[in-house]
Amino acid sequence: MRALPRLLAALIVALPLATIAAVANAAEDPITVLTSDFEDGTAQGWAGRAAETVAHSTAQAHSGTGSLLVSGRTAAWQGPSLDVLDVFEKGTAYTISVWVRMADGSDNARLSVERRTGGTAAYDQVVGNTAVTSGSWVNLTGRYTLATDVEFLRVYVETASTTGSFHIDDVAVSYVPALPIQTGIPSVKDVITEFPVGAAITGAEIVTEHGQLLSKHFDSVTPGNALKWDATEPTENTFTYAQADPLMAYAKSKGLAVRGHTLVWHNQTPSWVFTGADGQPMTATAEDKALLLDRLENHIRNVAGHYGTDIGVWDVVNEVIDESRPDGLRRSSWYTVAGLDYIRTAFRVAREVAPHAKLYINDYNTNVPAKRDFLFGLVQQLKAEGVPIDGVGHQVHININWPTIAETKAMFDKFVPLGIDQQVTEMDVSIYTGDSESFPAPPADRLLKQAYVYRDMFALFRQYPGEITSVTLWGLADDNTWLDTFPVTRKDAPLLFDTRLQAKSAYWGVVDPSKITGSTASPSASSSSPPPGTGTCVVTYRVTGSWPGGFQGDVKITNTGSTALSSWRLGWSFTGGQQISQLWGGAHTQSGAAVTVTNAAWNGTLAAGGSTTVGFLAGWTGGNPAPTAFTLNGTACTVL
Ligand code: XIL
């Protein structure tokens, strides 16, 4: 496996400062590790997955004159593939981009990786079905992180249904080098002592920096997809734990508790589950109902049985409420075939096979009064019947404006009289307040607002130490969040750590709210709103790399005033004896601790809402404390 990131780190330590600037300057830029442009008349190492023909072609080209054509396919899974065993390093997140165009007709194309360990193959989807035609080129771009040791690794493109010929072109694979995690900040789990705090993860997040971040900050972990039906029983009575077992082994080795998610859901459940003995979609007949409940029982016996006491909490059923129905019950295939008996069966079997485990009914938007009340009524009814429900899971997928603390409090209060446990199971705080918004990078004011939401929500959770028995975030860091593609595709930033695994203001909102804005007074803890009138600038200071005696950092300045600046002067104080040797994005002077940076010719105008970043290299001898106060044109800024 290639070792480029480590090599780069070693180079940064070994090189003289002037050379470091060139390397380090580019630290946030992606490094391209593979391209295929098909301009040299060859297939550039691409081959078929079976006996199909893969050849250079000039019939179509996304750029230049050549592309790759796959023809003679006899199955939809056949397509061009490339060996990337020596390219991909375990634990590094790669972005893979490929252009696709049908030769004739239309289909859906998808991008995947096949990997083999000990001869066993697994298939990871990188980009799902995307419509392609012969009329234009379509781009498939997705992220992939290899989590396990492999002896075979190939990227490939296939189609969903037809065997038509298609072209690919301009393939590129790149990654952004990881930063080390911050080890000198408090662990979330040490600060929050009222209940365990967890994070949901997908496979690759147990290795390298992600694994370190997870075990430093969290007490518990939820496999984000690995325990769902499509992952554990893709075909009837064939159980596979290839996705979940590595996560479980990691959790065990680090002493992390595991939330089992989820035994029964209407999503990520293969269609065979709802197909009757006659090959037709099941309906509400006695025969179909009996078969469905048998399948349900078999599934739970196998999956919950496989992990025994290693899983202490199960989301037995997920998202069964639909408050738009008169009876509040979601019309899933489960419900339409089996009525409420699917819920009764699921809890009964889960209790039998995992008597030690706490059994949960889990749902989203449980703060919405109508939904909350239907859920309450259902739990009350089922408990009265003797159905073994131990707790209600509130997903808490929220955003910076919604819901209020009061609504969230009412949600917890509602369930207290039932005498059951409650858990926050999938919390994230989107920076978006509507589907039409999209920011290339998270704006400073949204991140600030988000920090106050995290602060206020955690303060609320901590008021229920007896009732709330754990809080889980739906992800580890902003580099991997389901909200990047849901409800629409755009970059979101809903978690405590940024895309490079560094602590955000949201983290400080949970851990130490006084650090959210440096010296700025904090608003009342019940209002989720940023402090009033905090000047006209926001500054973010980061150390982006360090080595013995030196470090690299950057300072992002945002003009939060309502008028543009035509020139700017930024000031701060380095109290640890740090001395800047080189700075880009402006001109600097340093007198003792006092640093002054004025704009460069090209970034003097800072529009209202606009930002710019200066980067620098500095030496240090003692400690390296971060500056806590910044001024812009003499006025104090909010420090994030
Ligand atoms: C999401 C996963 O995070 C995604 O990777 C997947 O593509 C779809 O499901 N409510 C739930 C979770 O209960 O299972 C969902 O997880 C997010 C919403």
Q: Is 482 in the pocket of ligand 1 (CB under 6 A)?
A: yes
pLDDT at position 635, please?
A: 86
Rounded to 5 degrees, φ, ψ at 569 are -135, 120
Supply the residues annotated as catalytic. 319, 363, 426
At 550 the pLDDT is 83
143 versus 318: the higher-pLDDT residue is 318
Instruction: Compute the average pLDDT of residues 356-365.
Output: 98
pLDDT at 115 over 50: yes
Is the separation of the CB atoms in 374 and 386 below 8 Å? no
315 lines ligand 1 (CB under 6 A): no
Distance in angstroms (rounded) separating the CA atoms of residues 136 and 146: 31
CB 586 within 8 A of CB 597: yes
Q: Is the pLDDT of residue 611 over 80?
A: yes
Nearest to 168 by CA among 103, 242, 212: 103
Q: What domains are defined for the chain? A: 12-175 (2.60.120.260), 191-515 (3.20.20.80), 537-639 (2.60.40.290)
pLDDT of 561 reads 77
Name the pLDDT band for 547 (thresholds 50, 70, 90): confident
CB 510 within 8 A of CB 455: yes
Can you tell me the mean pLDDT for 350-376? 98
Mutational pocket test of ligand 1: of 474, 478, 480, the residue with most ligand atoms within 8 Å of the beta carbon? 474
395 in ligand 1 pocket by Cβ < 6 Å? yes
Is the distance from the beta carbon of residue 230 to the nearest atom of ligand 1 less than 6 Å? no
The CB of 224 under 6 Å from ligand 1? The reply is: yes
Query: Exposure pattern of 326-360 as b/e (b: 16+ CB <10 Å)?
Result: eebbbebbbbebbebbbbbbbbbbbbebbeebbbb
> Can you read off the two tokens belonging to residue 360?
């949960």
More confident residue, 604 or 447: 447
Q: Is 428 in the pocket of ligand 1 (CB under 6 A)?
A: no
Of 561 and 264, the one with more pLDDT: 264
Residue 179 contacts by C-beta under 8 Å, 6 or more apart in sequence? Answer: 209, 500, 501, 502, 544, 545
Give the mean pLDDT of the chain. Answer: 90
Count other Cβ atoms within 10 Å, centred on residue 467.
Answer: 20
Name the residue with the closest Cα to ligand 1, atom 1: 482
Flag whether pLDDT at 625 surpasses 80: yes
Q: DSSP character for 464?
A: -
Ligand 1 centre to CA of 77 (Å) is: 26
Q: Write out pLDDT tens, residues 576-609.
A: 889 999 888 899 999 999 999 999 887 888 888 7
* pLDDT value of position 519: 27
Atom of ligand 1 nearest to the CA of 318: 13
How many A from CA of 488 to the centre of ligand 1?
14
The pLDDT of residue 535 is 57
Q: What is the rounded average pLDDT of the residues 377-398?
A: 98
What pLDDT was estimated at residue 215?
97
* Mean pLDDT value across residues 555-563: 84
Structure tokens at 69: 């054509």
**DSSP-derived secondary structure for 507-528:** HHHHH-GGGSSTTSPP--TTS-
Q: Where are the alpha helices (DSSP H) in 204-332?
A: 208-217, 229-232, 244-254, 286-307
Average pLDDT estimate for 452-481: 97
Name the closest-CA residue to atom 12, ligand 1. 224
Q: Write out pLDDT tens, residues 23-36.
A: 333 346 789 999 99
Q: Is the pLDDT of residue 531 over 80?
A: no
Ligand 1 proximity of 318 Cβ (cutoff 6 Å): yes
| Tens digit of each residue's pLDDT (9 = 90 or more) over 174-202 | 998 888 999 999 999 999 999 999 999 98
Give 230 Cα–ligand 1 centroid separation in angstroms: 12
Q: What is the arithmetic mean of pLDDT over 255-267? A: 98
Average of per-residue pLDDT across 386-406: 98
pLDDT exceeds cutoff 90 at 523: no
**pLDDT band for position 413 (50/70/90)?**
very high
426 lines ligand 1 (CB under 6 A): yes
Residue 472: per-residue pLDDT: 99
Give SS3 for 410. Answer: helix
Instruction: Ligand 1, residue 228: give the atom nearest the CA.
Output: 14
476 alpha carbon – ligand 1 mean position (Å): 14
For ligand 1, atom 7, the nearest C-alpha belongs to 482
Among 328, 329, 334, 331, CA closest to 264: 334
Give mean pLDDT, residues 95-123.
95
Burial class (CB in 10 A: 0-12, 13-18, 19+), 407: middle
